[in-house]
């Protein structure tokens, strides 16, 4: 089996590459500019020399179809595109193009290519907006509250349309938040653990945050890529919510991260109004029962362990002492 991973340099792309290599796949990793990319995450997982890398611009239809023709993959995982909710408010056009137009190019290229390819598209729980106390399932209407979420909702609908109109094997994984030490620091969870590690090692800075009362469902990224693979092994393509089913607050995450380093977060936290978003999701809850039942997939790593794993990696990075 041969798999093409678009956006191989990111957190999910790296973990998915490792998973597929372990299953005996030939893995081709696509990046906008493979010559310039360091593929740091692949190196961290010690698989850089096992992944064939190639340049492909997902917003360029010709680039996409040439890549399909050159490598002739059996499976395509589209994990590419602008990935920051916060940045999408500053760069809405680039966000829409890289996510929605990029997905459309992939679908159209697969349709033109004419050979059987199974296509996975990275969706997002951000599409649901604020769920309130009712956990979101595959049947929950979308109410996106950011340019990023609007783009992801558009991509989701495109995948469904191509599946129904052209009988493509195409599906979307509606993934709730999932973290790991491979997250870049522009993501809030990594910012928290890295800041805590630096303070524990003697840094006098503060953790500057926006709204710490928001609540999310956070899982462990290496588990979530297995769900992606499982989705492409079904007889018929279906969309799935992938999540733990447990929601905690951002304050919970901060408290546990600082406690790992023997610190009281209240002594090091500063609320910065500049980090508040124009619109935000206050509560995100999930119902992953369909994935549990039909995929046989269930999140095993609890949020406390996710935080601990990230903190251990951050401590090693900044050489912070144990409490």
- pLDDT tens digits, 197-246: 999 999 888 999 988 999 999 999 999 999 999 999 999 999 999 999 99
Q: What are the Cα distances from residue 277, in Å, to 29, 82, 146, 191? A: 33, 17, 9, 17
- pLDDT tens digits, 75-115: 999 999 887 787 888 899 999 999 999 999 999 999 999 88
Q: Which helix (H) or strand (E) holds 132?
A: none
User: Which entry of 126, 179, 223, 255 is annotated as an active-site residue?
Assistant: 126
| Residue 90 annotated among the catalytic residues of the structure | no
How would residue 279 be classed by pLDDT, with cut points 50, 70 and 90? Answer: low
What does the pLDDT average to over 52-59?
A: 96
Is the predicted pLDDT of residue 320 greater than 50, yes or no? no
| Residue 124 annotated among the catalytic residues of the structure | yes
Residue 136 contacts residue 241 (beta carbons within 8 Å): yes
Domain spanning 2-178+221-242, CATH architecture = 3-Layer(aba) Sandwich (3.40)
Does residue 101 sit in helix, strand or coil?
helix
Q: What are the Cα distances from residue 273, in Å, to 199, 254, 270? A: 22, 18, 10
CATH 3.30.1130.10 fits 183-216+246-285+301-318, yes or no: no
User: Which entry of 15, 120, 148, 169 is annotated as an active-site residue?
Assistant: 148
| Residue 169 annotated among the catalytic residues of the structure | no
Question: E strands along the chain, which residues?
Answer: 2-6, 26-31, 52-55, 75-78, 118-122, 169-175, 178-179, 207-209, 215-216, 219-220, 240-242, 248-249, 269-271
User: Which entry of 63, 124, 146, 286 is annotated as an active-site residue?
Assistant: 124
- pLDDT tens digits, 151-196: 999 999 999 999 999 999 999 999 999 999 999 888 999 999 999 9
Rounded to the nearest integer, the mean pLDDT of the chain is 93
Tell me the helices (H) and strands (E) count for the chain, helix number first.
12, 13
Of 14, 40, 43, which is closest to residue 222 (Cα–Cα)?
14
Q: What are the Cα distances from residue 255, in Å, to 192, 223, 261, 270, 305? A: 10, 24, 10, 14, 14
- pLDDT tens digits, 246-266: 999 999 999 999 999 999 999
What are the residue ranges spanned by the domains of the chain? 2-178+221-242, 183-216+246-285+301-318
pTM (predicted TM-score): 0.93
């Amino acid at each position: 089996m041969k798999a093409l991973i678009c956006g191989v340099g990111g957190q999910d792309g790296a973990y998915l590459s490792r998973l597929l290599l372990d299953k005996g796949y030939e893995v081709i990793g696509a990046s906008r500019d493979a010559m310039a990319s360091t593929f740091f995450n692949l190196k961290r997982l010690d698989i850089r020399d096992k992944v064939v890398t190639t340049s492909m611009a997902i917003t360029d239809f010709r680039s996409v179809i040439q890549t399909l023709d050159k490598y002739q993959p059996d499976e395509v995982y589209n994990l590419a595109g602008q990935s920051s909710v916060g940045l999408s408010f500053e760069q809405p056009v680039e966000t829409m193009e890289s996510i929605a137009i990029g997905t459309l190019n992939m679908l159209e290229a697969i349709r033109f290519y004419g050979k059987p390819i199974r296509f996975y598209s990275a969706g997002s729980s951000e599409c649901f907006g604020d769920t309130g106390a009712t956990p979101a399932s595959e049947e929950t209407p979308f109410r996106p509250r950011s340019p990023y979420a609007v783009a992801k909702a558009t991509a989701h609908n495109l995948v469904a349309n191509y599946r129904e109109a052209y009988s493509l094997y195409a599906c979307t994984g509606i993934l709730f938040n999932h973290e790991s030490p491979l997250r870049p620091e522009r993501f809030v969870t990594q910012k928290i653990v890295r800041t805590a590690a630096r303070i524990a090692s003697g840094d006098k800075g503060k953790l500057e945050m926006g709204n710490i009362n928001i609540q999310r469902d956070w899982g462990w990224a290496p588990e979530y890529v297995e769900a992606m693979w499982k989705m492409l092994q079904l007889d018929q393509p279906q969309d799935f919510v992938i999540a733990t089913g447990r929601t905690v607050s951002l304050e919970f995450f901060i408290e546990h991260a600082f406690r790992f380093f023997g610190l009281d977060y209240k002594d090091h936290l500063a609320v910065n109004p500049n980090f508040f978003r124009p619109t935000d999701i206050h509560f995100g809850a999930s119902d992953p029962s369909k994935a549990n039942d039909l995929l046989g997939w269930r999140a095993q790593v609890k949020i406390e362990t996710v935080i601990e794993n990230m903190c251990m990696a951050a401590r090693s990075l900044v050489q912070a002492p144990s409490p």
